[in-house]
Amino acid sequence: MSSLNPRQQEAVLYTDGPLLVLAGAGSGKTSVITRKIAWLIAEKGVPSGRIAAVTFTNKAAREMKERVQSLTERGSTRGLIVSTFHNLGLRILKQELAASGLRRGFSILDQTDSKEILKEILRQGESEKDLAAVDAVQKRISDWKNELILPDEAVSHADSDDALRAAIAYQGYNRMLRACNAVDFDDLILMPAQLFREQPRILEKWRHRIQYLLVDEYQDTNGAQYELVRMLTHPEGRFTVVGDDDQSIYAWRGARPENLAKLQEDWPDLKVVKLEQNYRSTGRILKAANTVIANNPHVFEKSLWSDYGYGEAIRIAALRDEDAETDWIAGDIFHRRLQRGLHWKDFAVLYRGNFQSRILEMKLQALQIPYKVSGGTGFFSRGEIKDLMCYLRLLVNPDDDNAFLRVINTPRREIGPATLEKLAGWAAQRDQGLYHVCDDFALGEVMAGKAADKLRAFKTWLDEKRRACFGHNSLQAVNELITEMDYESWVMQNASSPRIGEKRMENVWQLVRNIQRMLEKQEDDEEGASDLEAVISKLVLMDMLEQQDEEDDSDRVQLMTLHASKGLEFPHVYMMGVEEELLPHRTSIEEDNIVEERRLMYVGITRARESLAITQALTRKQYGEKVDTLASRFLEELPLDDLQYIGEGFKKDEEQEDQVAQASIANLKALLD
């Protein structure tokens, strides 16, 4: 405890009622949560199996559990739940299968899988408008689920034709999921909350199971997550939640920062502890952050401070265009690293949208600066790779219903949701997987003969591919699978441009080449053995580990969106494109949602430990034409005395610019020698 400051100690030791820890950026909130768990186990005698800690990412959960284990005696954390909200929901559903209406081995659909099912449902209406609006329908259904609104309630609350269309699609979508023994990501919160509402016995069971609950990043909770926490902890209020309303930047995915204020309504005796001492940034950076965020309304006031000295001025660079902007950032990183003896990984460049990184990447490559783009689409997350992986999974495991649902209409085979719903009912009745009953002789009793024929034809064709894959030439069979279903035509037809379609097919053939190399390696290692099943199992594992691979600590400049930067910190930070209609974003301006964009600015500023540079391109290309930009309104909110202006929009420091140019030239020469 001696390593904690007084406010942190207060938060750790308080267990007499509900507690909100208002934790500013860099204030040591993770230390509070992990120390509190350790203290509950070691000093308060709470069994570890009766404690649950919930956060929003697998990485955060993993790190939290490791830190708790390092603070406690070996074996004392057995049974402790440290997980994401969705993993907690999954745990509840698996233990309450009968009550939830699910069967063992239920599938969890990702966003892409869900979208394909919705497309098929909307196609039944034969409306181009419906198909064009599939993304909007998917978003509306997700919003309903996040507010615990069930399909029938959505229909009764629909206040427009579009809302009614989405509500009817929601009904069909929900029936389809239940028939196929599947859930989507939002169901992992909705269904446990629904169980707790409707079955008090189950709620009491889980209240007994979780006797103390800790929640990290509480400002990011949506309506369903708030209700889940409320039901698990009401009325005793045996919980600690940690949050910061100034870092709530996920309203677009349902987060409600007002949930922090709502706590006081549901628990009038709520204790609030503020963590305001920052252990990350210099005083000047914190002053800038405090000054900007003070323009937002607050339920809980706080002001960050630090013992780390005042630090260097915040540099504001206004450059001619995006070429000059990225030139300046790349050059500044280059010479600062050499001038100060730093590592590449000490630098991070943050931006509002992923498109902003493209020009910068070229500039970094030209200077041979290693970099890593975080938050991009991983190889196994690409739609075309997921398609082929599901075919391969089904080849080696015909019981994989999730894979079956993805590929049955990819490419389209005119097998609609009504047919699949009947197929799923028949499979459940027979207690078999979907693939296995496609050629059931009695299938014609529950659906039209034409629909049954299409299912039978699909299984006959894939059975042939399965036999070939486990024959003498597995690779040839995989190639034939792709060509016989004319997958390339499907990809090109659904791509936004021929170039994009070609890139997607190149990804497919890259996967095939990977399979080839893995099969060849097997032959070398195992004296001629060639096991496609083992290769596919390894590929599935690679898929699961892809996100972990993103977490490497190699020496590279970090490029990421402002949203992706939350929770991270870097010695030297560049925020690029701080302009009106970028930050704040045009959509936010139109929707009068500046407060969240200001919070995004605050998050960006507070990622920096030692130095911060903010850039603006005075002109920027839009739709092939150069347009003049306006500096972001947030720049005007920064404390003037703490800024150093650089570039065309301001009075130049020619001596400094000359020094920078000379240093950069010298460094380039040194690299070439």
Residue 465 CB neighbour total at 10 angstroms: 18
* Catalytic site includes residue 115: no
* 169 Cβ contact partners less than 8 Å away, ≥ 6 residues apart: 118, 121, 122, 130, 137, 141
Q: Indicate which residue of 8, 240, 247, 326 is catalytic.
A: 247
Cα–Cα distance for residue pair 28/418, rounded to 1 Å: 53
Question: Which among 352, 340, 341 is positioned nearest to 312, based on CA atoms?
Answer: 340
SS3 of 12-25: the string is HHCCCCCEEEEECC
Q: Is 521 exposed, middle or buried (0-12, 13-18, 19+ CB in 10 A)?
A: exposed
Convert 470-501 to b/e letters by CB count within 10 Å (16 or more is b).
eeeebbebbeebbeebebbebbeeebeeeeeb
Q: Indicate which residue of 120, 186, 187, 217 is catalytic.
A: 217
Question: Which among 381, 501, 60 is positioned nearest to 242, based on CA atoms?
Answer: 60
* Catalytic site includes residue 368: no
Q: Indicate which residue of 216, 346, 401, 440 is catalytic.
A: 216
H or E, element range at 654: helix 654-672
Q: Indicate which residue of 29, 165, 382, 598 is catalytic.
A: 29
Cα–Cα distance for residue pair 361/366, rounded to 1 Å: 9
Question: Which among 606, 665, 599 is positioned nearest to 348, based on CA atoms?
Answer: 606
Tokens 């999974």, residue located? 393
Question: Which among 101, 200, 99, 185 is positioned nearest to 146, based on CA atoms?
Answer: 185
Question: Which among 379, 368, 377 is positioned nearest to 557, based on CA atoms?
Answer: 368
Q: What contacts 24+ positions apart, CB below 8 Å, involve 298-304? A: 298/245, 298/246, 299/245, 299/260, 299/261, 300/22, 300/245, 300/260, 300/272, 300/274, 302/22, 302/24, 302/246, 302/274, 302/276, 303/276, 304/24, 304/25, 304/26, 304/27, 304/276, 304/277, 304/278, 304/606
CB 464 within 8 A of CB 476: no
CB 107 within 8 A of CB 206: no
Cα–Cα distance for residue pair 13/25, rounded to 1 Å: 22
Residue 189 tokens read as 């919160």
Cα–Cα distance for residue pair 485/483, rounded to 1 Å: 6
Q: Indicate which residue of 9, 10, 15, 30 is catalytic.
A: 30
* Catalytic site includes residue 266: no
* Catalytic site includes residue 547: no
Q: Indicate which residue of 607, 609, 620, 633 is catalytic.
A: 607
**Three-class DSSP category at 662:** helix
Q: What is the phi-psi region of residue 448: left when phi exceeds 0, alpha when psi lies from -120 to 50, beta otherwise?
A: beta
* Catalytic site includes residue 440: no
**Paired strand residues for 239:** 213
Residue 542 tokens read as 């690679």
* Catalytic site includes residue 205: no
**Three-class DSSP category at 608:** strand
**Paired strand residues for 575:** 350, 614
Catalytic center residues: 29-30, 216-217, 247, 607
